[in-house]
Amino acid sequence: MKERLERYKIFRILASIYRIKAVRLLIPIAVIGLVYWEGQKELRQVSLGRTFGELRRLPVEAVVEIFLFSLFSIAVMSLYDFMIRHHFRLKVGFWSTFRYAWIANTFNNIIGFAGLTGAGLRTILYKRSGISPVLMASAVVFLSPVVVTGLSILSWGIIAGVFSVGDLFAEHRWLIFAVWGMALYLPLFVLMQRSSLFAKWFNRGEGRTPWTTVGVSLSASLLEWACAGVTFWLIASSILHDVSFREVIGMYSVAAIAGILSMAPGGIGAFDLTVLLGLEQLGFPSDRAMAVLVLFRLFYYIVPWLIGLIMSAFELGSAAKRAGDKVDEGPEFPLNVWQRLWRWPGQYRFLSDLGVWALGKLVLVSGLVLLLSAATPGLLYRLKLTEEILSMPIMRISHLISVIIGFMLIVLSRGISLRIHRAYVWTGVLLLAGAIFTFTKAFDFEEAIFLLIVGIALWMSRSRFYRKGAVVDVRSYLLWYVLSAVIAAIYFWIGSHVHHGWLRHLPTADRIHWMFGPRPYAITALIGLAGAWLLLTMLLLLRPNRKMAAAAGPEELKKLKAFLQNNQGNLLTHMLFTGDKSFFWAQDERVLIPYAKARDKLVVLGDPLGPVKLVPDAIGEFQHYADQYAMAVVFYQATPDYLPIYHEYGYRFFKLGEEALIPLDHFTLSGKKATDLRSVRNRFEREGYAFEVVHPPYNDSLLEELRSVSNEWIKGRREKGFSLGWFDKSYLEQAPIALLKNPEDSILAFASLAPGYDEGRTMSIDLMRHQSGTPNGTMDYLFVKLLEWCKEQGYEIFNLGNAPLSSVGESKSALREEKLAALVFQYGGHWYGFKGLRRYKEKFAPEWEPRFLAYPAWVSLPVLTMDLVRLVSKRVQENRK
């Protein structure tokens, strides 16, 4: 019962590590799912074909008017940034403030998460202008409660009857409480701004917020929401024609409140369904209501965001990392509960390198634009004009090639985000080709111009694409296969619905697809998908160079021996002769960094070897090498002496355990504490057991006898690797072996030794194997004799090996993961004798020296732990490939 209770404690802490992540993902998903479930009836009435038909019939002047006013509405949101610029006296230029505001606001509109995306982006953007993250934290906290005050004022307008909502409240009474709740936020905000508590915590101790600042805040927020509402009304009046301004603004305000309460990015789901319900109650058909929503999402969200993507590509993109660059861990300041829930700013690591991330998303959007353009052919007069100038066969080929290029750009977008040079070259060629073929397809110059703009942004950022490759595991490949298949299905669905709902009346559109049979969109989707899968399968763009993880061969091992003649090793150096590690020679081959590849990480065994003064620059060199393949550098079993160096490179630390180091000059079997060990030694010597240390080269008969003992000890289990040695003839030939023989002169147990390569100062234990059914105290006797032998040979320290998770997480302020490790150490004896191993080694009175895992701040510790377990547990044959 007690064991089950302790297991429950362990699993409870494990659950707490992932609970926040689950909540963070499930809240928006659950809300969107609920909205879809409640709105199935309305959604089933929507015809995508007729919706696109409504969009195509919009006059050009109306589209231009909507486009310009939507940009103005987004520009109005920059008033928030100018307000905090004035209030906090930020030394940032006018144009820089406007750019930062546009990028932060458009990304926040799309991604959302309760404003945390905008907050994180503002922190990073303003940091480029010399504003400290701590000061920006105060500014963001000051700004956060201001944003919805304008919507609160509009809510009062609904309650007072200034704006009408028709029968929306009668059908959905819960919306009344939502509107009242938003309305009551206004007096709460004013009281909060004027309170002494707010002044103390959020206003930098400068007293209560002045009434003028409160008024400016309310005016800025009201202007933002009013402009957004007017944008929505302009779109609604252009499509619905006979529609009341009072009703549209009222309905928009209620829908915006529903969207905020849903916590979904951009209010997607709740906002859209509320608009559909409201417009249908006003007597408008669902197809035209959906057209209003599509245009509003396009002009108020997507188009400004694409502009923000382009701006961020130029604003935040940085050149390739150079050796020795330090890792920026991001802002450090106390987070409130809501920020901790979404794990901001660490959750949005891409924000710290948004420029290249934005370019990748622009390429992805380019591929989607080509597919959407192919699924919804251009206006009829353009189709006829193209046919007269270029002929129908060219239009058909252009259409098919556009689809193929669209799918390929979607696949290549991942390579752009990873800064891969070959992905940049292919993407540039495909963007140019896509612009040409989408133009010759139906004179779709808008799409062509967009593709050319993306191509220019890519070309101007060409210095950022320096990587030779990136690791992509099987799961990632499968994900991209599935994603491209889903996009192909969406393309087919949109094309078929648009064709049957609207384009079937256009003979020119039919003639574009005549050579593909009765299901043209299915055929073109399959062809495009086949092209994307071919590109994905070739592995030319994202596959790293295999030589970077090639195990050290005979020449490298010979070079290692020569290196150790002039440089000191460490307690793990002997493991390098197993042949499963790769060697990186830095600082003109004066520093050696041994490593192995674990998925997207290069795991260094121990500390770098070589002069300590050269190690920092050597780490920078190795990080640059790893970064060329989009890989992280991790240091496994790092020692305390090197932690300051790793800290300078932005590493975090997790204590792995402690190493048992026995000072041989203090080792003795005399005294009361060594009674048990002394008794064991006397008993084995009295019964005729013999201890012997043999040196290489070894004859075949000895190795066969040792292999027999090893196989009996292993009992079919898998040999470990990386930080542990295994039974291999070439490896055992590198060092002495301690033998324990029974009175019949048969080997009962053995232990291979591992020199410290530090001028004969240290010796370590390596393989320890014994036959089954050995007498009690067999290994104690072997260790005692081995310690005495090392002392006679002049060694100063004997390394008895590591005690995993020893003394980890004992402090009350320890990390949550370390507290979990402490529980595993305390109660994990059922799976692995952590505590028993520590207790056994204690009998030899060692000095304990901690060992650490040094890892980049952005690497997930649970995922890294799994990668390390897989690395150590790999079969020897796999390690040597």
Q: What are phi and psi of 130, to 5 degrees?
A: 90, 10
Summarised one tens digit per residue, pLDDT across range 488-500 is 777 776 666 555 5
In 3-state terms the chain splits into helix, strand, coil percentages (rounded to 5) of 65, 10, 25
Degrees, nearest 5: CA angle 663-646-650? 150
- CB 151: neighbour CB atoms within 10 A? 25
Q: Flag whether pLDDT at 546 surpasses 90.
A: no
Does an H or E element contain 5, and which?
helix 2-38
Q: What is the pLDDT of residue 620?
A: 92
Q: Flag whether pLDDT at 321 surpasses 50.
A: no
- Which residue intervals of 568-666 are DSSP H helices? 615-627, 643-648
Summarised one tens digit per residue, pLDDT across range 250-272 is 888 988 888 887 766 666 767 87
Q: Flag whether pLDDT at 825 surpasses 50.
A: no
Q: What are phi and psi of 402, to 5 degrees?
A: -60, -40
Cβ–Cβ under 8 Å, residues 196 and 208? yes
pLDDT, mean over the chain: 76
Distance CA 47, CA 53 (A): 10
Cβ–Cβ under 8 Å, residues 372 and 404? no
Place of tokens 């597919």: 371
Q: What is the pLDDT of residue 343?
A: 41
Beta bridge partners of 738: 693, 751
Radius of gyration of the chain (CA): 34
- Which residue intervals of 39-114 are DSSP H helices? 40-44, 48-56, 60-76, 79-87, 94-111
Task: Find the mean pLDDT for residues 236-243.
Answer: 84
Cβ–Cβ under 8 Å, residues 500 and 376? no
Task: Find the mean pLDDT for residues 754-778.
Answer: 88
Phi-psi region of 589 (alpha: psi -120 to 50; beta: other; left: phi over 0): left
Task: Report the sign of the C-alpha dihedral through residues 60, 61, 64, 69, in that order.
Answer: negative
Q: What is the pLDDT of residue 840?
A: 78
Residue 594 CB-half CA count within 13 A? 29
Q: What is the pLDDT of residue 75?
A: 94
**Neighbour-count burial of 779, counting CB atoms closer than 10 A to its CB (0-12 exposed, 13-18 middle, 19+ buried):** middle
Report helix angle 816-827 to 2-38, nearest 10. Answer: 140
Domain boundaries defined on the chain: 1-77+145-305+318-344, 348-543
Of 70-84, 458-472, 669-683, 761-775, the poorest mean pLDDT is in 458-472
Burial of 630-666, coded b for 16+ CB within 10 Å and e otherwise, reads bbbbbbbbbbeebbebbeebebbbbbbbbbbbbebee
Residue 85 CB-half CA count within 13 A? 18
Task: Find the mean pLDDT for residues 519-548.
Answer: 63
Of 406-420, 588-602, 696-710, the poorest mean pLDDT is in 406-420
Q: Flag whether pLDDT at 668 surpasses 50.
A: yes
Question: For residue 196, what pLDDT band results from cuts at 50, 70 and 90?
Answer: low
Q: What is the largest CA-CA distance in the chain?
A: 109
| Distances in whole angstroms, Cα of residue 676 to Cα of each of 682, 784, 787 | 10, 11, 16
**Neighbour-count burial of 78, counting CB atoms closer than 10 A to its CB (0-12 exposed, 13-18 middle, 19+ buried):** buried
At 752, is the secondary structure helix, strand, or coil?
A: strand
Burial of 387-401, coded b for 16+ CB within 10 Å and e otherwise, reads beebeeeebbebbbb
Q: What are phi and psi of 809, to 5 degrees?
A: 70, 25
Query: Which of 281, 218, 237 has its CA nearest to residue 255?
Result: 281
Summarised one tens digit per residue, pLDDT across range 147-172 is 888 999 999 998 888 888 877 777 66
Q: What is the pLDDT of residue 258?
A: 83
Of 43-52, 343-352, 519-528, 615-624, the poorest mean pLDDT is in 343-352
Amino acid at 487: I
Task: Find the mean pLDDT for residues 515-526.
Answer: 58
Write down the pTM of the prediction: 0.67
Read off the tokens for 522. 């299915």
